[in-house]
Chain A
Amino acid sequence: MKVSNGLWKEQLAGKMPEGLAREIDIFEAEINLRKLGKLEERVFAEKRLRRGVYGQRYDNGQRHDGAKVQEMPYPRRNLTKGPNTLWDAPGMQRIKIPGGGLNASQLETLAELAEEYSDGIAHITTRQDVQLHYVHIEDTPALMRRLAAAHITTREACGNSVRNVTTCPYAGVCPDEVFDVTPYCMALSKFLLGHPDTQNFGRKFKPAFSGCSQHACALANMHDLGLIAVTRTEDGKEARGFATFVGGGLGAVPYQAKLLEPFVPPEEVLPLSQAIARVYARLGEKKNRSRARIKFLIHDLGIEKFRELVLEERKQLEFDPRWKEYVADAESYHEEPLKPGRKLDRSGSEAFRRWLETNVRQQRQEGYAVATVTLPLGDITASQLRSLADVVRRFTKETVRTTVEQNFVIRWVSEDDLPELYEALEAAGLGAPGAGTIVDVVACPGTDTCKLGISSSRGLAAELRKQLIEKSYQMEEAVKNLHIKISGCFNSCGQHHVADLGFYGVSRKIGGYSLPHFQVVLGGEWANNADHYGLAVAAVPSRNIPEVVTRLTGFYAANRKNGEPFREFFRRIGKAEVKKLLEDLARPPADEAGRAAFKDWGDPRDYTLGDMGVGECAGEVISSTDFDLAAAERQLFEAQIAWEDGEVEGAAKTAYQSMLSAAKALVVTECPEAPDDPDQIVREFRSRFYDSQKFFDPYAGGKFAQYLFSAHQKAGASYTVDSARYLIDEARLFIDASHNYSTRTAAMTAR
């Protein structure tokens, strides 16, 4: 905690926008009230979340140190930042960067904050935000004031609010875009920030803008609100507009967004978004967090009804002059270069040429290029941020943006300057090639710092990156261009659903040992604004994932036909074939010593879930629960195959059966004579595991059990391709949760 905290307010007086300064004063007062016990912990938790102040792993004061669960003796054990969140435990600060746009002095401010309040690293997220980790809550007002003085806010970076509005980092310079969406992104961001109609959501709400529909830069299809630039001819003139999509989202069960309106004129973007927000706030689920995202509301109502409600709401809105004001100058918005655009006429060193090949794209404007600064795992040091600030001042008019692939792009570089720009980046340790290729692995924070992490996504990403860089010189072009994305759990912050090779963390208990695994998800689509989501193939121990990548990429390189993209290749080959290819890797070592060596990447501690002790009973006997859960897995696999073959009803029925099998596997642990009748299984499961909250995930609560209840309620109903797919995903999560429950109970018994 900094001694200077109290001094920044005076130091920065007059330098912060008034509104931001006042909000931070209020937040500081709330901190003080909480310290005095005058603000209830739950209320305070939501207040801080809305200021981007997030919890971090082990902030409940417990940490498994490799031998035992340690109670961390924080000084103020009775003071909390929220339920089970100790005051002095470090947390994460998320910083909103609308559209990812920054200038040089903002980069320098971020550098200062990373150095003084965090561990020297700023982390770029998959939604163009910046995160600082290990920050003390009492440092946050000073940190926010320094950001405010640089015109950056953390407001509504977390919590049930409108999150960062993202956009293509190439907007305005992309040869394929319909028009520059940047000013609309900024307008929506400003309009919705703190808007009274966005303060009463049941969950978060994520908007994104894309300049075209064929590229993936903004991933509009996986957002709550996705706006894609389109034009049409009106009175002989080209008019701008947005194809507007709603209800997309990754999370545990990914949903593709649905088209709300094919053409929304610019002056309608803000009021229509406001109307969507109002309908969501009014009708969206509030109590059950697991069904509170707008995608569930739209799914339940149907897009037609939702559209009707939104349009009705739009009609009722009182006129707001900002709707037009904020977009009035959008058509004349443009960035300027620092230097005249000149073609590159030198070849440069081999290292430069390698970097040029992967990290540079030509702009729509002749003679200019966009250079990508590849950040390993999205991390950049304070001194690199300062060097980046120097680079963007030297070569551009400070036109730099973060990307959803956790990199930076520098726009408006005169092509002739590229060799010098590369040298400057390389000198700062920022000249790595491989942007947007297989080595540019995307990963969420995972078990490193996230409270929900199940497996080490960053540990795995670092390992894959290391291995793939070594191999990249001999890699086939088709393999080089694949995308790998990793999430530490089913929540999908690493966006694994839209990667060619995606992975998300799960745990499995084998022979009394809990082992970190990743579910392998293949064939997601990154192009077309993330138009298709991948399919789960098998859960494989973390340690074997690098070999999974080697095998799959080798198999693809050897067997693809006529330039077939990975997704199509995977569809053609089929899941069963791929599963066979990975079968041996999915099996952890049979012996105890081998299993003990199967720790998570980058973490030498014995693996535990929820930081409970590892089971001592490492006997070879597989429990009947494990057998029964394996049977549920098999049924689910059959359901997925049936779905792939177009047998929608059969797939849904088998997926439901697999959930019943998993539920029964747990019921028999308490009631060996459990019946086979679905009603009775569900009733028993509900009373023994749900009502008692035993099955509850520490963070997702009863969400996964509710998947079972809803599938049971719908048993016999007919399914569409989409709803069968959702059911399969929900069954996957229910079975994973059953494994997790089994792992947790084993660890508790051992303790």
Chain B
Amino acid sequence: MEFQHVNVKVLLDHASAVDLEPLIPVFHNWIQSQSRDELLLDVADYRHVRAGPGVVLIGLEGNYSVDNAGNRLGVRYNRKAPLGGSNLDRLQQAARAALGACREFECDPRLSGQLRFDGRKVEISVNDRLLAPNRAETRDALEPDLSAFLQKLFARGEYSLAFNEDPRSLFSVAVESAKSYSAGSLLRNLASQT
């Protein structure tokens, strides 16, 4: 089974009190400097929607956002364009994009350290119901790639999985690591050769 359009969302700390307005100029600057490897196009502001997509940086190949879906604030990368390689490659690409964005937010003085990775929680979904319907077969098919990916991400540390059971939802899983990490250390784990 080929999984495309992977989404990774890294959850943020102390999320309820975060004001997303300062994020808007940050995203505009990203467009200005075209600071990612993808074409960045526009900013969509959905702060007015409860438990919504928050502020979204629309790209051609993928969107970046700080979204509050499920009332869980997190940095999301939503891969839109098809990507070559294996499922593992695509999981890693989306995770690198989300974590990389998160790390930039952590360091951006305009955001005053308000957007910080909570250290443990990551959500993964596949944004295509035909390629990845939310049922047991998809879970079984993705299991080897998912565990290889999570082993690498958490450097073989322990983690727990909670799959979304609503058949109408995208295939999605919430992952919680037993140990706390920084966004930077997860990025390093992904970059390591082992």
Contacts and interface: CB of A to CB of B under 8 A. Distances in A.
A90 interface: yes
Contacts of A380: 49
A175 to B, nearest CB: 32
Give chain A's interface residue range (CB within 8 Å of chain B): 35 or more
Given A66-B32, A602-B24, A379 B48 contact: yes
A116 B32 contact: no
Interface in B157-175: 166, 168-170
A8 interface: yes
Contact of A1 (B46, B53, B63, B80): B80
B168 A386 contact: yes
B21 to A, nearest CB: 9
B32 to A, nearest CB: 4
Contacts of B47: 462
Given A66-B28, A74-B39, A88-B60, A4 B44 contact: no
A134 B53 contact: no
Contacts of B41: 58, 63, 72, 89-90
A58 B42 contact: yes
A336 B168 CA distance: 26
| From A8, A136, A458, A604, residue with most partner B Cβ within 10 Å | A604
A119 to B, nearest CB: 5
B52 interface: yes
A11 interface: yes
Nearest to B80: A1
B135 to A, nearest CB: 15
Given A2-B5, A4-B130, A120-B53, A134 B170 contact: no
Contacts of B170: 115
A88 B128 CA distance: 20
B53 A119 contact: yes
Nearest to B58: A134
B70 interface: yes
A748 B106 CA distance: 39
Contact of B48 (A1, A111, A377, A603): A377
A488 interface: no
A417 interface: no
B44 A133 contact: yes
A394 B53 CA distance: 26
A4 B128 contact: yes
A381 B56 CA distance: 13
A85 B82 CA distance: 23
Contacts of B191: none
Interface in A502-535: none
Contacts of B118: none
B60 A3 contact: no
A717 interface: no
A235 to B, nearest CB: 53
Contact of B128 (A3, A66, A384, A386): A3
Given A2-B5, A73-B39, A90-B58, A115 B49 contact: no
A297 B57 CA distance: 45
B144 to A, nearest CB: 20
A448 B169 CA distance: 28
Interface in A446-479: 448, 458-459, 462, 465-466
B141 interface: no
B114 interface: no
A542 B51 CA distance: 28
A465 B69 contact: no
Interface string B34-73: 1000010110111111111100101010010001011000
Nearest to B131: A4
Nearest to A108: B168
Nearest to A67: B32
B127 interface: yes
B51 A121 contact: no
Interface in B11-46: 24-25, 28-29, 31-32, 34, 39, 41-42, 44-46
A258 to B, nearest CB: 39
Contacts of B140: none
B39 to A, nearest CB: 6
B188 interface: no
Contacts of A3: 2, 4-5, 82, 128, 131
B69 A8 contact: no
Contacts of B39: 72-74
Nearest to B67: A120
Contacts of A428: 51
A469 to B, nearest CB: 10
A376 interface: yes
A164 to B, nearest CB: 24
A75 B80 CA distance: 15
Contacts of B67: 120
Given A72-B41, A115-B127, A379 B28 contact: no
A494 B4 CA distance: 38
A1 to B, nearest CB: 6
Contacts of B49: 121, 376, 379-381, 429
A187 B161 CA distance: 51
B93 to A, nearest CB: 15
A133 B50 CA distance: 19
B67 to A, nearest CB: 8
A267 interface: no
Contacts of A8: 130
Interface centre among B28, B44, B56 (most CB of A within 10 A): B44
B53 A383 contact: no
B48 A462 contact: yes
A381 B48 contact: no
B136 interface: no
A79 to B, nearest CB: 14
A714 interface: no
B81 interface: yes
Given A7-B130, A386-B168, A459 B45 contact: yes
A383 B5 contact: no
A468 to B, nearest CB: 13
Contacts of A133: 44
A2 B70 CA distance: 25
B156 interface: no
A592 interface: no
Contact of A74 (B29, B31, B60, B166): B60
Nearest to A456: B45
A3 B53 CA distance: 23
A465 B45 CA distance: 15
A528 B130 CA distance: 48
Interface of A: 1-4, 7-8, 11, 57-58, 63, 65-67, 70, 72-75, 88-90, 108, 111-112, 115-116, 119-121, 133-134, 136, 376-377, 379-381, 383-384, 386, 428-430, 432, 448, 458-459, 462, 465-466, 602-605
Interface of B: 2, 4-5, 24-25, 28-29, 31-32, 34, 39, 41-42, 44-53, 56, 58, 60, 63, 67, 69-70, 80-82, 127-131, 166, 168-170
25 contacts: A1-B82, A3-B2, A3-B82, A7-B130, A57-B42, A58-B42, A63-B41, A66-B32, A70-B31, A70-B32, A70-B34, A72-B39, A90-B41, A90-B60, A111-B168, A112-B129, A112-B168, A115-B127, A116-B5, A120-B53, A386-B168, A428-B51, A432-B50, A448-B44, A604-B24
Instruction: Give the top 4 A-B pairs by smallest Cβ distance, nearest first.
Output: A429-B50, A4-B130, A604-B25, A376-B48
Given A1-B80, A88-B60, 4 more contacts: A4-B128, A57-B42, A72-B41, A448-B44
